[in-house]
Chain A
Amino acid sequence: MPIQPFVDGFLVTLQLCVLAAIGALVLGALIAALRVSPIAPLRAVGTAYVTVFRNIPLTVVIFFAAFGLPELGMTHADFLKIPVLSEILTQLKMDVPFFRFAVIALVTYTAAFVCEAFRAGINAVSPGQAEAARSLGLTFTQNLRFVVFPQAWKYAIVPLGSVIIAMLKNSALAGALGGVSGDLFGTVDTLISSSTVESAATTLEAFIGVSIGYLIMTVPLGLFLDRVEKKRAMAR
């Protein structure tokens, strides 16, 4: 059985997930900031975002991104032609609309869960910390940036890791639904359709190979989180 398709698929999934994870962490942090803001309308926006994206199936989000957005006239995802990002994508030979749509879908969906993990972290920081920062005259953003977030991420990192692991696995859905061509999960399809005689064995092998591919990404992440947790328990 050829190994190359697995390697190719693995790399596509890895790239997809690294980009989506960065996007989801940034967007999730912003939404968490909205949700703890002293301004009620901003809080409402944050809450609405989480309510929507936490409560609709990922499948719907991916279909919407892949088939709904093009209908809105965004076939080539022109609105995503952000200078630096475009260069990175071209470099990765990933500058295809579907890859971008898959990133958008994973980012918007995962950001809701990232937000909740961050918010749990923020709530774990004693309210006296933010109060002391306010009493010094720090603005809301300074308070979050210099006092609350640096403490909150320590409480949030383990749940955040779980969210990212879930996202990694969710990315297979983007492959299965045609959101991305050639990701790790798509490898199954490639292999099976190209095989001729011994297809039964190949199917089994292909699925085992793909599973190993996902485990290579998720298990080290899980081990890393265990270590972080142990370290934190000792520091306490």
Chain B
Amino acid sequence: MPEPLIELNAVNKWFGSLHVLRDVNLTVDRGEVVVVIGPSGSGKSTLCRAVNRLETIDSGTIVFDGKPLPEEGRALARLRSEVGMVFQSFNLFAHLTILDNVTLGPIKVRGESKQAARERAMALLDRVGIGNQALKHPAQLSGGQQQRAAIARALAMQPKAMLFDEPTSALDPEMVGEVLDVMTSLAADGMTMIVVTHEMGFARHAARRVVFMADGELVEQASPAEFFGNPRSERARDFLSKVLQH
């Protein structure tokens, strides 16, 4: 039995009177790719962001790599350095070149030499296909290129897991593919991933497990084949009929 990397136990969160996470239990094994889908406002982004404590939770526990999430402070910063995060709006540092975006973490957080950080950054940028953009600023790149740079930035920290919060939702349709390709190859390399997305194709072919959320509840989880072929809950059937009929 593989040891789980991420464990959420009875997690609850409220935004004021809005109950956005209701008793969520989720376990992600090492090397597993879990895709979280569900209607807007179902709490899936909040769930994703709670794993590295960008959102705090009101009750329950989240355990990463055998240790409960620390409170604010250095311990939390260390944990975050081990969890890569990719945002819907890329959030590349606007004042830095792509290369400096990728090397900032390794140099300042890990204390790596500039030389070593730069070499690995270049290798990563080549891997995501934008090595030739390294000296440009984020605003000079297309959305797809920016998101691939953001993935390289997260990978430069050599994280134990990667969180993707709707990584393709802000992209023009023709750029979605290039980002999903990078994510698929990461998944194939055995990276532990939690992916919040509306890309049903990606969920079908890259996920080990699909998690369906609605109204803050984790409604069902199953293998992609099972989930898409034979959803058990009414809400999942309803959701799928809406997103798949076109």
Contact = CB atoms under 8 A, between A and B. Distances in A.
A103 B155 CA distance: 49
B91 A136 contact: no
Contacts of A48: none
A74 interface: no
A128 B91 contact: yes
B114 interface: no
B54 interface: yes
A147 B108 CA distance: 12
Given A38-B72, A131-B54, A146-B104, A138 B109 contact: yes
B72 A132 contact: no
A136 B84 CA distance: 7
Contact of B91 (A131, A137, A138, A146): A131
Contacts of A151: 93-95
B109 A128 contact: no
A147 B93 contact: yes
B214 interface: no
A132 B83 CA distance: 12
Interface string A132-175: 11111111001000110011000000000000000000000000
Contact of B93 (A129, A134, A137, A142): A129
Contacts of A137: 77-82, 105, 109, 157
A128 B94 CA distance: 11
Given A134-B54, A136-B80, A138-B77, A129 B105 contact: no
Contacts of B84: 135
B124 interface: no
Contacts of A150: 95
A133 B87 contact: no
Given A131-B54, A131-B87, A146-B104, A136 B92 contact: no
Contacts of B13: none
Contacts, number: 64
Interface string B38-72: 00000000000000101000000000000000001
Contact of A136 (B72, B94, B95, B109): B109
A129 B80 contact: no
Contacts of B78: 137
Contacts of B91: 126, 128-129, 131-132
A135 B154 CA distance: 9
B83 to A, nearest CB: 7
B74 interface: yes
B89 A128 contact: yes
A138 to B, nearest CB: 6
Nearest to A130: B91
A150 to B, nearest CB: 5
A146 B108 contact: yes
A129 B94 contact: yes
A52 B48 CA distance: 42
A139 B74 contact: yes
B157 A136 contact: yes
A133 B52 CA distance: 12
B153 interface: yes
B87 A142 contact: no
Nearest to A147: B93
Name the residue among A126, A129, A137 with the largest chain B CB count within 10 angstroms: A137
Interface of B: 52, 54, 72, 74, 77-85, 87, 89, 91-95, 104-105, 108-109, 150, 153-154, 157
Given A134-B54, A137-B79, A146-B108, 9 more contacts: A128-B87, A128-B91, A132-B91, A136-B109, A136-B157, A138-B104, A138-B109, A150-B95, A151-B93
